Structure 1
Amino acid sequence: MVRLSLPIRFTILLSLSLTASTTSSSSSLSFFKSKTSSSSSSLPSTPKATPSDLLSLLGPTSQSSSVNPLVAQQLNCCFKFLVPFTPHKPNTQFHDFTIRRSLKDQNLKSQREQNELIWWPPEPVLELARLAVDSGGDPDAIHRTLDPTVLPVPDVEGCKGYRCELTRTPYGRRFISQELNSYLRYLFELIVARGPNVGLSASLNRYDLFHGHLFLAPETGRLGVLFHAREYPAYDKEVFPYNMGYCQIGSNVTYDDSMNLRNILWLAPLPNNSTKGWDAPGVLVVLDARPDGIIYRDIIPEYVNFARTIYEDDLGDAVVDVNYLNVGESVLDYQIFIC
Structure 2
Amino acid sequence: MVSKTSLSLRLTFLLSLSLSASYSTCSHSFLSLRSSSSPSSSPSSPIPKATPSDLLSLLGPATAHSSSSVNPVIAGRLRSCFRFLVPFSPRTTSKCSSVNRKLIVGDGVQGRRAECERRRDEDRLIWWPPEPVLELARLAVDSGGDVGAIHRAIDPTPIAVPDVEGSKEDRCELTRAPYGRRFISEELNAYLKFLFELIESRGSAVGLDVTLSRYDFFHGHLFLANDTGRLGILFHAKEYPSYDKEVFPYYMGYCQTGSNVTYDDSMNLRNILWLAPLPSSSTNSWVSPGVLVVLDARPDGIIYQDLIPEYVQFARTLYEDDLGDVAVDVNYLNVGGLKPNYQIFIC
Distance 2:197 2:39 in 1: 40
Q: CA deviation at 1:329?
A: 4.2
* Structure 2 residue 196 is matched with structure 1 residue 195: no
* Residue 75 (str. 1) matches residue 78 (str. 2): yes
- 1:146-169 CA-to-partner distances (Å, cap 9, x unmatched) read 011111111111111111011111
- Measured at CA, do residues 154 and 132 of structure 1 come closer, stay the same or move farther in structure 2, by a change above 3 Å? same
The aligned residue for residue 13 of structure 2 is: none
Distance 1:205 1:42, change over 3 A: farther
Q: Do structure 1's residue 40 and structure 2's residue 41 form an aligned pair?
A: yes
Structure-2 separation of matches of 1:172 and 1:331: 22
CA deviation profile, 1:274-303 (whole Å, cap 9, x unmatched): 111000000000000000000000001111
**Matched residue, 2:278:** 270
Q: Contact between 1:224 and 1:268, CA under 8 Å: does it hold in 2? A: yes
CA distance 1:38–1:115, change in 2 (3 Å): closer
Deviation string 1:188-237 (CA, Å, 9 cap, x unpaired) is: 11001110110000000000000000000011000000000000000000
In structure 2, relative to structure 1, the CA distance for the partners of 1:177 and 1:39 (3 Å cut) is closer
Q: How does 1:169-318 map to 2 (within 5 A)?
A: 169-318=177-326
The residue type equivalent to 1:167 in the other structure is T
The alpha-carbon distance between structure 1 residues 250 and 39, as it changes in their structure 2 partners (threshold 3 A), is closer
Alignment partners' CA distance in 2, 1:139 and 1:38: 26
The structure, 1 or 2, with the larger RCO (C-alpha pairs under 8 Å, 6+ apart) is: 1
Matches within 5 A, 1:76-155: 76-88=79-91, 110-155=118-163
CA, structure 1 residues 330+201, in 2 after alignment: closer, same or farther (shift >3 Å)? Answer: closer
Separation of aligned partners in 1, 2:323 and 2:38 = 23
Q: Which amino acid aligns with 1:54?
A: L
The alpha carbon displacement at 1:32 in A equals: 5.1
State the shift of 1:42 in Å.
5.2
Q: Which amino acid in 2 is paired with 1:325? A: L
Pick the structure with greater CA Rg. 2
Farther off after superposition, 130-139 or 323-332: 323-332
Structure 1 position 56, deviation (Å): 0.3
Q: What is the CA–CA distance in structure 2 between the aligned matches of 1:60 and 1:134, rounded to whole Å?
A: 17
Structure 2 segments unaligned to the other structure (5+ residues): 7-24, 94-114
Matched AA of 2:128: W
Structure-1-length-normalised TM-score: 0.85
The 4+ residue runs of structure 1 with deviation greater than 6 A are 22-25, 330-333
C-alpha separation between the residues in 1 aligned to 2:315 and 2:77?
Answer: 21
Secondary structure of 2:322 counterpart: helix
The secondary structure found in structure 2 opposite 1:226 is strand
Deviation at 1:34, TM superposition (A): 3.7
State whether residues 124 and 180 of structure 1, in contact with CA within 8 Å, keep that contact through their aligned partners in structure 2.
yes
Aligned positions, number: 306
Residue identity in the other structure for 1:235:
Y
Q: What is the correspondence of 1:323-334 to structure 2 with a 5 Å cutoff?
A: 323-329=331-337
Matched-pair contact (CA < 8 Å) for 2:334–2:342: no
Partner of 1:51: 52
Q: 1:130 to 1:46 in 2, by over 3 A?
A: same
- Is the alpha carbon distance of 1:217 and 1:32 closer, same or farther for their aligned partners in structure 2, counting shifts above 3 Å? closer
Deviation for aligned residue 1:88:
1.8
| CA distance, structure 2, for counterparts of residue 183 and residue 39 of structure 1 | 36
By how many angstroms is 1:331 displaced?
8.7
Give TM-score, length-normalised by structure 2.
0.83
Q: What is the SS of the residue equivalent to 1:204?
A: coil
Deviation of 1:86 (Å): 1.1
Residue 103 of structure 1 corresponds to which residue in structure 2? none
Structure 1 gaps of 5+ residues are: 1-16, 91-106
Q: Contact 1:174 / 1:335 at 8 angstroms: preserved in 2?
A: no
Cα distance in 2 for residues equivalent to 1:74 and 1:242:
31
Counterpart CA distance in 2 for 1:296 and 1:71 is 13
Alpha-carbon separation, structure 2, partners of 1:27 and 1:78: 26
Contact 2:221-2:326 at 8 Å conserved across structures: yes
